[in-house]
A and B are shown apart, each in its own frame.
Chain A
Amino acid sequence: MKIFSKLGLILLVACMAILGACSNQSDDKEIVIGASLLTQQHPFYVELKKAMEKEAKAKGVKLEVAIANQDLNKQLSDIEDFVTKNVDAIVLSPVDSKGVVAAINKAKAAKIPVITVDVPAVGATPDAHIATDNYTGGKMAGEEMAKALGEKGNVGIIDYPTVQSVIDRVKGFKDAISKYPNIKIVAVQPGITRPEALTAAQNMIQANGDLNGIFGFGDDAALAAVTAIKSAGKSGKIHVIGFDGMDEAKKAVKQDQSFYSVITQHPDQIGQQGLQAALKVIKGEKVTKVIPIKPGVFSKEGEKN
């Protein structure tokens, strides 16, 4: 009795699993590309995934997507499973630049081409890498800040100092600002999540009564800064420049006086180009090793590139 009830229930679950995948019987001749994405809980990656799926459909190739859920060990398992399935290429957004080496090596050993998107790999060479040109984006943010402040004032930065893409952004921002002798950077504080960024922004405003601008490394940081400015009653006196440009931030730029503009990444282009690069490598065509995607600016007047 016990055995059969257990067996029956496990059968039920297995059937559900099969139902979940019922439409996925593949033809052997079809080109299959496996994508292993860092997460699916960030709008950036949701858009990236959609763009890849759209491009795969347009090109008539099969795309299988695995989500690592920010767990490097799961990403490694997902890629091992792609290798088992012998997919034709793997598009990968690493959970961690250094730690992903093992996964890339496994794919390479099986002669499966690897394209990285968004986050670069360190210590292994993928066939191509496609990502936002963060340094240029940072410079654009610096220029926006100068415009917002009329080329003079005191600026704070909310930072995420351990991530290379953010380091590049902040470096670009500082380089752009250094051309304006009347703009001073008076505070740089880390604020990775929105609550942390809120605390950082509040501290900055508290410590610098004459603060005129805050650059947030990402949407969360910028939105937190906007909240802090509002609750300090300084709307319109302190200007915020953000980076990422997901819908929530764009809306805030339109609505909030203090949110001047946001540098927009193009996950759709990154996804599309990632898939195209994978196809080229499969067909033996040449691809550029590093494909930078230039970000745009979204201001109160809307998007411009």
Chain B
Amino acid sequence: MENVKIESDHSLKNVSMQFLRQYGGILAGLVVLIILFSFSSPHFFQVKNLLNIILQVSIIAICAFGMTYALIIGGIDLSVGSTIALSGTAAALLLQQHIPFVVVVLIVLLLGMVLGAINGVLISKALIPAFIVTVATMGIFRGIAYIVTDGVPITIQNQTFLELGNGDLLGIQIPIYILFALFIINHIILSKTKFGRQAYISGGNEEAALFAGINVDRLKIWIYIITSTMAAISGLILASRLFSAQPNAATGYELDAIAAAVLGGTSLTGGSGRILGTLIGAIIIGVINNGMNLMDVPYFYQLIVKGLVILIAVYIDIKNKKRSN
């Protein structure tokens, strides 16, 4: 709802004040983390490593962009990890049949849309809660990925496809370009289009959206289509980066994606959330992972630190909600 207010006031000063109010905390947190890690590891603050971090978070971040849509309408999509695995295996199987790269990418994106439509229809038309629908499809999509591969990873040899995750252009890896292109596209969709405004309105108050004449069912289906399509893109990049499709890949990534979105200020109760916030949230998770690795923090402690970050973010979210009510 506060997002609607932003739209109405475009003077430069107000826009920058809004920006600070919205992202000041999380940006400051990111800067603090970067400074701390820079002091504790000589390898951290190097252009090479910073690019490395963005490369490492690209898969989660793209998936989290999609998750942001689902969260904005007050929904959730727990099937994205399985969608990543299934779209990766689909790509590998198609490439094995020597189908050209472009066609494979298009088919996999289409597959992502179909998977999203299944979630969306079950949620909006069959009226099953999103949590239940996507827990179920999480299992179903994963099961299909295991069946079509016999549970065994499939090696990918198509050079063009391998460039997608491993190639670079002017010293910057391809996934980083994809990440920023998708950031801009999703940012525009959510903040500048009628579709985006409708999403915020129906997430904030579904009944009001219905009274305003918004076709909420159709809107929801499209939201879940976008969420799954983003996951499918993540799946393509992941399979390329791993030189293979792993049917058990991306287990638990749905939770990382939710964590990134929530860290970035997206509310789990719907109505608010921004793509820039999600991007910063994902980068924070990446910085924590990378920084702790460089400092040689034992893995089990890393799990605790990451868990604490998520707890804190949700706590702040709830506290802010209470205050604004």
A contact set with B: CB distance below 8 Å: 2-3, 5-7, 9-11, 13-14, 16-18, 20-21, 24, 40, 64-67, 69-73, 76-78, 80-81, 84-86, 96, 98-99, 101-102, 123, 162
Q: Is the CB of B296 within 8 A of A21?
A: yes
Q: Is B100 an interface residue (CB 8 A)?
A: no
Q: Is B211 an interface residue (CB 8 A)?
A: no
A70 to B309, CA, bound (A): 23
Not counting A17-B301, A76-B241, A78-B293, a sample of 15 additional A-B residue pairs whose C-beta atoms are within 8 angstroms of each other reads A5-B316, A6-B312, A9-B312, A10-B33, A13-B308, A16-B304, A17-B292, A20-B292, A64-B296, A67-B300, A73-B238, A76-B242, A84-B294, A99-B153, A101-B244
A7 is contacted by which of B28, B298, B320 (Cβ under 8 Å)? B28
Given contacts A13-B308, A98-B244, contact A84 B52 (CB under 8 A): yes
Q: Is B158 an interface residue (CB 8 A)?
A: no
* Residues in B54-77 with C-beta less than 8 Å from chain A: 55-56, 59
Q: Is the CB of B242 within 8 A of A20?
A: no
Give min CB distance, A27 to chain B, whole Å: 12
Chain B residue nearest to A11 in the complex (CB)? B32
A24 to B292, CA, bound (A): 11
Q: Is the CB of B153 within 8 A of A21?
A: no
B150 is contacted by which of A64, A72, A162 (Cβ under 8 Å)? A162
Q: Is the CB of B153 within 8 A of A96?
A: yes
Given contacts A18-B36, A162-B150, contact A96 B244 (CB under 8 A): yes
Given contacts A98-B153, A99-B153, contact A6 B25 (CB under 8 A): yes
Q: Is B124 an interface residue (CB 8 A)?
A: no
In the complex, chain A residues whose CB is within 8 Å of the CB of B28: 3, 6-7, 10
| Dominant SS among interface residues on chain B | helix
| Dominant SS among interface residues on chain A | helix
A102 to B288, CA, bound (A): 23
| Interface membership of chain B positions 270-303, coded 1 if the CB is closer than 8 angstroms to chain A and 0 otherwise | 0000000000000000001111111111111100
A64 to B302, CA, bound (A): 14
Binds A, one of B115-123, B137-145, B193-201, B247-255: B247-255
From B55, B243, B250, residue with most partner A Cβ within 10 Å:
B243
B43 is contacted by which of A17, A66, A85 (Cβ under 8 Å)? A85
Chain B residue nearest to A67 in the complex (CB)? B299
A99 is contacted by which of B52, B166, B242 (Cβ under 8 Å)? B242
A192 to B305, CA, bound (A): 32
Given contacts A3-B25, A102-B241, contact A14 B33 (CB under 8 A): yes
Give min CB distance, B173 to chain A, whole Å: 11
From A5, A6, A85, residue with most partner B Cβ within 10 Å:
A6
Q: Is the CB of B242 within 8 A of A162?
A: no
B29 is contacted by which of A7, A21, A67 (Cβ under 8 Å)? A7
B294 is contacted by which of A7, A9, A81, A102 (Cβ under 8 Å)? A81
Q: Is the CB of A14 within 8 A of B249?
A: no
A13 is contacted by which of B242, B289, B305 (Cβ under 8 Å)? B305
Give min CB distance, A206 to chain B, whole Å: 25
Given contacts A17-B288, A18-B36, A98-B244, contact A40 B153 (CB under 8 A): no
A101 is contacted by which of B55, B59, B243 (Cβ under 8 Å)? B243
